[in-house]
């Protein structure tokens, strides 16, 4: 709950008078399952870190897939780079979901787990494509 006051101030007499007071229910920006601001911030920090790693891995995957489809001489090195970046994302995700705070782990799973699984499947599909080209 939050109490709002409309205040009148008489500058000549240095007096303040509450003209109107109202209690309003404050919307909580923190999901109930996270409980506290500390937990919420911790989850957001981990998700931000994973999202940055994911963006890099996704870029590497797209480059590697394009080179693999073209069967270019760079394809193998690009696939290696994509696997390395995926590994970084997976490691950060694993640490977050295996951490001590269950609420943070669940929030990380809920918000980024699906994207990571999709990227893993994409990299596996790319590897299969490369093997079938040989």
Least Cα distance to 87 among 97, 95, 77, 98 occurs for 95
For residue 54, what pLDDT is reported? Answer: 97
pLDDT in tens, 50-78: 999 999 999 999 999 999 999 999 999 99
Q: How confident is the model at residue 14 (pLDDT cuts 50, 70, 90)?
A: low
For residue 126, what pLDDT is reported? Answer: 97
For residue 15, what pLDDT is reported? Answer: 52
pLDDT in tens, 97-130: 998 889 999 999 999 999 999 999 999 999 999 9
Average pLDDT, the chain: 82
Distance CA 100, CA 51 (A): 21
Contact status, residue 40 vs residue 90, Cβ threshold 8 Å: no
Least Cα distance to 104 among 57, 37, 55, 53 occurs for 37
């Amino acid at each position: 709950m939050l109490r709002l006051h409309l205040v009148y101030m008489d500058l000549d007499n240095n007096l303040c008078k509450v003209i109107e007071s109202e209690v309003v229910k404050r919307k909580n920006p923190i999901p109930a399952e996270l409980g506290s601001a500390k937990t919420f911030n911790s989850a957001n920090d981990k998700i931000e870190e994973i999202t940055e790693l994911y963006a890099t891995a996704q870029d590497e995957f797209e480059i590697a897939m394009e080179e693999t489809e073209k069967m270019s001489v760079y394809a193998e090195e690009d696939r290696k780079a994509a696997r390395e970046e995926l590994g970084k994302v997976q490691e950060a995700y694993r640490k977050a979901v295996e951490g001590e705070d269950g609420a943070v782990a669940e929030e990380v799973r809920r918000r980024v787990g699906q994207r990571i699984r999709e990227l893993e499947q994409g990299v596996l599909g790319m590897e299969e494509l490369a093997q079938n080209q040989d």
